[in-house]
Structure 1
Amino acid sequence: MPPFIAPKKLFNNVNIGVLYTIVSAVLILLGTTIAIQYAKGGFRFTKKGFAPETGLLNANSFPTGSEVYIDGELVTATDDTLYLKPGEYTVEIRKEGFSPWKKQLTIQQELVTQTNAQLFPTAPGLSPLTLTGVTTLTTSPDGQKVILYTDSSQNIEKNGLYLLELSNNFIPLQRAPKQITTDVPVLSLEKADFIWSPDSSELMILTARKEMLIEVSGKVNLEAEQDISWKRRQVLSEWESEMYQREREFLKKYPEEIIHIATTSAKNVYLSPDKKRMLYTATGEVTLPEGIIPPLPASNTQPEQRSLISGGIYVYDREEDKNFQIGVETGTPSTVSKALLATDLFSSARSLETSPSAFTTLQATNSAETAKLFQAYYTSLPINTLQWFPDSKHILFAKDQQIHIMEYDGTNNTVVYSGPFQENFVYPWPDGSKILMLTSFSPDSPMNIYSVELK
């Protein structure tokens, strides 16, 4: 026979069980809430006291081990994560032997703000990449090669065209320029014009006596090469068609509003290596509309400029819909500017078969002008304006015998080299570890290519 339980005792047992369940549930819920908020940066003790809500600053730098100053106070070393009350902070990152990095950052509640500070050495090393002199040179579309001509070698057989491959090969002999043609005096290669194929595998050499198309992968005999002057225009149209198709695919990812400006009110439009940002010079006073895409959390908080002025140089970030003014065109504008080919982005694509005349935009009335237009399409070097650094986060330029690197939003303008050099040739190594320049450190020695070592 089961034991008899009085109703009052049973009721008390039930009440206690329910109470335990409720208390346990509340404690679990409270603990979970606190844990979630703590993970988001809440309920933290900062140097300014207890903060129920904070944001995160991921203070990272290249190289690491750099001092981090917040509002002038040393707080930690990179790489580290800090919890700060939401607000504006002056963040500075310093390391001995490197230029300091400084930026005004906005810390937002529960969001992570990264510094991604790239520090550049204050005393970079210099290394010669050529020794026999450089008379003329041209860079490839892929940024991996430089063709140069020299006629100052004491050994006549050593004069001619050389290929300098911009690779990180540690074998010295394989880093040296490779001769691809010997000099042919009757062709006057020092006066020749050069046009690269879009895939950087071929080079068109245009001289007054002969026009040639050579492969750059091996050594060739220019005297034995066929004259291709009869088909030059057709080859260039085929190349332009290929460039048009590629450009069309890249520009499709940009909002219609910035495409309209790029094709009607801008010049010298260059996409970053990762194709996510656009460098351009405005040719008129126009306004880029606000809110083209919904705002992204933890996006760049630097001041932007959407009211464009003629001659202003800007960078547009398509992922964050940010537009930063980073410079103004100064001096006499270059006679050559980059022309976009895909100006028909919102209509049917053209083809070489149906519209052969549509692919002559870069073909001028003379070879020299045509070569400049093709080269200006590939790189801003012939225009002597700002150019992209390989990491897509920095801009490279030369001014007043100084080489500068700054961030794409116009901050942290850093001088990485100051001294004699030809300002019309400053070019980044593909991985950003070096900068190439053309200089001579003696009045009696010829110009040579040197690398400014950044890493």
Structure 2
Amino acid sequence: MKRVWVSMVLILFFITIGTIAAILYARGYRFLPENGRAHIEGTGLLVLTSKPEGARVEINNHLTTATNNTINLSPGKYDVVIEKDGYIPWKKQIVVDKEVVSEVNALLYPTAPKLEAITSTGATNPVLDTTGTLIAYTVSSSSATKNGAYVLDMNARPLISFGGQTTQITNNQVDAFSDATLSFSPDGKEMLAQIKTQSGITSYLLPVRNFIDTPQDVTTSLFQVQKDWEQQAQDKNKKILDSFPKELRTIVIDNFSDFSMSPEGDKILYTASQSALLPIVKKPRIVGGNSTLEQRKLTKGNTYVYDIKDDRNYIIFDKTDIKESETSPRFFWNSDSRHLVFAKYNKITILEYDGGNPTTVYAGPFLDNYIFPWPDGTSIAIITRLNPGSPYNIYKLGLQ
């Protein structure tokens, strides 16, 4: 009987010790050597992923592992480099805390991106619709019937090419649409073409999906068209604001201007409308995830990204980085909601939503800093030409 009791005690003892050890192991505690002796130390988990996978990971200049993988590290700051042959290295300083999971999601870009022609008859005066899927442009270097206004649908997949589908909306038979300034309605269903003449500006309302012989002249009713579009924009913004919790809705109304939701709806790109201190929305604060230092002190005119899920705010662009005569670059969301694309000084740069790891992916010639991220995230549309004597066209800059 005594032997059975001792056996039960030993079994319970080892089960208890094993359970405690498993819990400590899951929380990141490890036996680590120090001065020839092993000791238990709390560590943090660093989850390393990359696209494409199989990239080398250097931590503090030491080759450590390859993606995708998860490793334990002692608390502290680490310089992480993820690299793969044929791709631009990814670099960032990561903070690892005890018992906290930190994440690294590296999107690697090719060192020699491919250029694929999307149009061949010319493309000028491009403009992107609010959905980020349609590019309107004009053609003036083709035949009389082919000149006019066009729309490129970047989501369409024609049989011959995977570069989108272009549709001629109208030609120059009624007016000089090759010289028109184009703009989309807030709902992306209509397009306004304005043509400057000696007597003033003539305005036409155009469809965006099909050809029209006789565009509707709305010069005399332009005020009503603009009023309708303003109402569309207000309704669209109201729908977005109504989807926010009340406290966040108040913050956005008071502090955010020119805001743009990420494709997944979990982040807000915005310009600060006033200098203020962004209040904390979620209490207690969420631990883990992104270790980049946030910036809740807003400066009017600076560009930020607010992460709704984690209640963190990051500065993306400081207005003091440009001259007074210059305008701030326009930022576009990448389809993964984790990266932003912008053009400045004839360079195309992609950076992470927290402002980290800015990477120049293209420094070749392109027109007037026009860039349009492809909806599937695989490429960027630019306006350029390969020969000085040829017209400007839309090209697809491959990022994979």
Q: Provide TM-score, normalisation by structure 1.
A: 0.77
Q: Does 1:28 align with 2:18?
A: no
CA displacement at 1:448 relative to structure 2: 1.2
Residues 274-423 of structure 1: pairs in structure 2 closer than 5 A: 274-290=264-280, 292-329=282-319, 330-332=322-324, 384-423=329-368
Secondary structure, counterpart of 1:33 in structure 2: helix
Q: 1:439 aligns with which of 349, 370, 384?
A: 384
Q: 2:239 aligns with which of 249, 253, 272?
A: 249
2:262 aligned residue: 272
1:19 aligned residue: 6
Equivalent-residue separation in structure 2 for 1:47 and 1:68 (angstroms): 24
Q: Does 1:148 align with 2:140?
A: no
Alpha-carbon spacing, 1:70–1:176, altered in 2? closer, same or farther (3 Å): closer
CA displacement at 1:46 relative to structure 2: 7.9
How big is each residue's C-alpha offset from its partner over 1:12-32, in whole Å with a ceiling of 9 and x where there is no partner?
x2x333332222222222222
Equivalent-residue separation in structure 2 for 1:418 and 1:262 (angstroms): 35
Equivalent-residue separation in structure 2 for 1:176 and 1:406 (angstroms): 25
CA displacement at 1:165 relative to structure 2: 1.6
Alpha-carbon spacing, 1:174–1:21, altered in 2? closer, same or farther (3 Å): closer
Which deviates the most, 412-421 or 174-183? 174-183
Alpha-carbon spacing, 1:185–1:395, altered in 2? closer, same or farther (3 Å): same
How big is each residue's C-alpha offset from its partner over 1:232-287, in whole Å with a ceiling of 9 and x where there is no partner?
54444444334323322323455666655644455332222222222222344322
Equivalent-residue separation in structure 1 for 2:42 and 2:147 (angstroms): 69
CA displacement at 1:170 relative to structure 2: 6.8
1:137 aligned residue: 126
Identity of aligned residues (%): 34
1:429 aligned residue: 374
Alpha-carbon spacing, 1:16–1:43, altered in 2? closer, same or farther (3 Å): same
Alpha-carbon spacing, 1:46–1:311, altered in 2? closer, same or farther (3 Å): farther
Which deviates the most, 325-334 or 84-93? 325-334
The question of whether the paired residues in 1 share the 8 Å contact of 2:83 and 2:90 is answered with yes
CA displacement at 1:440 relative to structure 2: 2.4
The question of whether the paired residues in 2 share the 8 Å contact of 1:130 and 1:176 is answered with no
CA displacement at 1:150 relative to structure 2: 0.2
Which deviates the most, 428-437 or 138-147? 138-147
Equivalent-residue separation in structure 1 for 2:230 and 2:224 (angstroms): 10
Secondary structure, counterpart of 2:388 in structure 1: coil
Equivalent-residue separation in structure 2 for 1:46 and 1:213 (angstroms): 74
Q: Give the aligned residue type for 1:304.
A: E
State the number of aligned residues: 392
Alpha-carbon spacing, 1:59–1:281, altered in 2? closer, same or farther (3 Å): same
Structure with a larger share of its residues in strand: 2
How big is each residue's C-alpha offset from its partner over 1:52-81, in whole Å with a ceiling of 9 and x where there is no partner?
432211111011110011111001111111
Larger C-alpha radius of gyration, 1 or 2?
Answer: 1
The question of whether the paired residues in 2 share the 8 Å contact of 1:144 and 1:165 is answered with yes
Secondary structure, counterpart of 1:147 in structure 2: strand
Equivalent-residue separation in structure 1 for 2:255 and 2:245 (angstroms): 15
The question of whether the paired residues in 1 share the 8 Å contact of 2:329 and 2:344 is answered with no
Q: Does 1:202 align with 2:147?
A: no
Q: Give the aligned residue type for 1:17.
A: V
- Cα RMSD of the aligned pairs, angstroms, is 2.9
Alpha-carbon spacing, 1:85–1:423, altered in 2? closer, same or farther (3 Å): same
Alpha-carbon spacing, 1:436–1:214, altered in 2? closer, same or farther (3 Å): same
1:218 aligned residue: 210
Equivalent-residue separation in structure 2 for 1:114 and 1:46 (angstroms): 26
1:66 aligned residue: 55
Q: Give the aligned residue type for 2:55.
A: S
Alpha-carbon spacing, 1:231–1:148, altered in 2? closer, same or farther (3 Å): same
Listed as ranges, the gaps of 5+ residues in structure 2 are: none
The question of whether the paired residues in 1 share the 8 Å contact of 2:189 and 2:207 is answered with yes
Equivalent-residue separation in structure 2 for 1:16 and 1:173 (angstroms): 80
1:99 aligned residue: 88
The question of whether the paired residues in 2 share the 8 Å contact of 1:136 and 1:149 is answered with yes
Residues 46-57 of structure 1: pairs in structure 2 closer than 5 A: 51-57=40-46
Equivalent-residue separation in structure 2 for 1:228 and 1:47 (angstroms): 79
The question of whether the paired residues in 2 share the 8 Å contact of 1:125 and 1:453 is answered with yes
How big is each residue's C-alpha offset from its partner over 1:213-238, in whole Å with a ceiling of 9 and x where there is no partner?
333222221x2x44345655444444
The question of whether the paired residues in 2 share the 8 Å contact of 1:88 and 1:105 is answered with yes
Q: Does 1:183 align with 2:175?
A: no
Secondary structure, counterpart of 2:21 in structure 1: helix
